[in-house]
Amino acid sequence: MKTVGECLDILTQVDSPDAREQPGVLDRVMRLLGLKEPANA
């Protein structure tokens, strides 16, 4: 990430109800972060 603001954008996407209900969205965001699974897995 270039900024903390960008970081907050991503984290709010990961934590949104939509993302939680749509694993595909979460997977995409996690891939964007270079992560393979949710942080609390």
Partner 1 sequence: MMKLNMTSRQQRRLWRHIGSIENFWETLAELEPGVIQRLAAIATERRWEVIFLTKRPRRQAHGAGPDQRWLASKGFALPSVYVVQGSRGRIAHALDVDIVVDDRPENCLDVVVDSKARAILVWREDESSCPRRRSASASAS
- Residue 18 touching partner 1 (CB under 8 A): no
Amino acid at 14: V
Q: According to CB under 8 A, which one of 2, 18, 21, 24 is a site residue for partner 1?
A: 2
Residue 13 three-state SS? helix
Amino acid at 37: E
Instruction: State both tokens at 16.
Output: 């949104």
Nearer to partner 1, 23 or 39 (CB): 39
Tell me if 23 sits within 8 A of 38, measured CB to CB: no
Q: According to CB under 8 A, which one of 13, 25, 27, 33 is a site residue for partner 1?
A: 33
Tell me which residues touch partner 1 (CB under 8 A): 1-5, 7-8, 10-12, 15, 33, 35, 39-40
